[in-house]
Amino acid sequence: MLQSLAGSSCVRLVERHRSAWCFGFLVLGYLLYLVFGAVVFSSVELPYEDLLRQELRKLKRRFLEEHECLSEQQLEQFLGRVLEASNYGVSVLSNASGNWNWDFTSALFFASTVLSTTGYGHTVPLSDGGKAFCIIYSVIGIPFTLLFLTAVVQRVTIHVTRRPVLYFHVRWGFSKQMVAIVHAVLLGFVTVSCFFFIPAAVFSILEDDWNFLESFYFCFISLSTIGLGDYVPGEGYNQKFRELYKIGITCYLLLGLIAMLVVLETFCELHELKKFRKMFYVKKDKDEDRVHIIEHDQLSFSSIADQAGGPKEDRKQNEPFVSLQSSAHPDGSAGN
């Protein structure tokens, strides 16, 4: 008897704080996922980093042996300056001297990466004025971009997602939930094909040093706004039609970001995902809901009263002489 009562009380306690338990498991799962990613990246990339360090040490030792007139300190000063310039997108290599980082098309590409928060990091402002302007430009531009993308995605979602789903549901009588799931999967497949696979094939042809995996990697890193900057198109030696190429990449990134947001919005509108998300949200109290309902009813009543009182005031304003006469001569005999 006592065990059954204790068990039922535990069940009621868990059900009462179900959202908090789900949120706790969500935080724990996210932390474990972070640790899992760190373990995998470390185990995969650390051996390659060690090999690269050993190779660089051998090259440095060999170079100093072949050039005895140059001290190790002078070489390190020169390499430090070269690496510092490379971090700002400036290279001393002869095959990279023809590309400018701040011509109009490159600046347009940089502005698009800043506003979309992609930020490859291959080109950064050099002057203090440029850094200050970048801060002000981003503070205004990023919310402006979010507003722009939200408005565009809302309109595109109506024509691409909601109307087709409603049409098949009403016209053919299919289940709305099933139609929404099939439509979301098809839309995701079309988006991945048009903005990942096909552009990856194009980049693997246009970029001499990229294979298909590296091109697909660039597309994913860019459209997910991660923007690591290890692969940036249009930076090769003697790139043909570089200005037009940069403008095309800017348009691709903007359209691809819109397509990604439309797909995410389509999946977020699925009934199953809505139910899943609500598991981690804080539930509103009944008293709070009752207050919202009362406030809404009061606002509705006041608006109705204003609408009802409006015509009376209009009639009074349109008949000034009648109102004056009725107020001044209530018995009708004052005129005599």
User: Which residue segments constitute the domains of the chain, with CATH numbers given?
Assistant: 10-88 (no CATH), 99-281 (1.10.287.70)
Choice between 79 and 222, residue whose per-residue pLDDT is larger: 222
pLDDT digits (tens, 9 = 90+) for 185-206: 999 999 999 999 999 999 999 8
Q: Look at residue 321 in the predicted model and tell me its pLDDT.
A: 35
Is pTM, for the whole model, over 0.75? no
Residues 180, 267: Cα–Cα separation, whole Å: 9
Name the least confident of 17-26, 48-57, 278-287. 278-287
Q: 284 falls in which pLDDT band (50, 70, 90)? A: low
User: Token pair for residue 179?
Assistant: 């139609």
User: Three-state SS for 118?
Assistant: coil
pLDDT at 134: 92
pLDDT given for residue 257 in this prediction: 94
In the block, residue with structure tokens 């709070």: 288
Query: What is the spatial distance between Cα 269 and Cα 161, in angstroms, rounded to a whole number?
Result: 10
Tell me what pLDDT residue 326 has: 39
Q: Are 85 and 97 in contact (CB under 8 A)?
A: no
For position 237, what pLDDT does the model report?
67
Q: What is the pLDDT of residue 61?
A: 87
Q: Is the pLDDT of residue 241 over 50?
A: yes
* Assigned token pair, 276: 């899943």
10 Å Cβ neighbour count for 194? 13
**What pLDDT, on the 0 to 100 scale, is given for residue 327?**
40
pLDDT at 303 (0 to 100)? 45
Average pLDDT, the chain: 80
For the chain, give the percent of residues with pLDDT over 90.
Answer: 39
Does 299 score more than 60 pLDDT?
no
C-alpha span between 228 and 209 (Å, rounded): 17
Per-residue model confidence (pLDDT) at position 209: 85
What pLDDT does residue 182 have?
A: 93
pLDDT of 4:
58
pLDDT single digits (tens) 248-283? 999 999 999 999 999 999 998 888 888 888 878 777
> How much is the pLDDT for 132?
94
The four Cα atoms 29, 31, 32, 37 give a dihedral, to 10 degrees, of: 120
pLDDT for the residue 9: 65
CA dist 135 → 32, 119, 226, 250 (Å): 35, 13, 19, 21
Q: pLDDT-derived band of residue 329, with 50, 70 and 90 as boundaries? A: very low
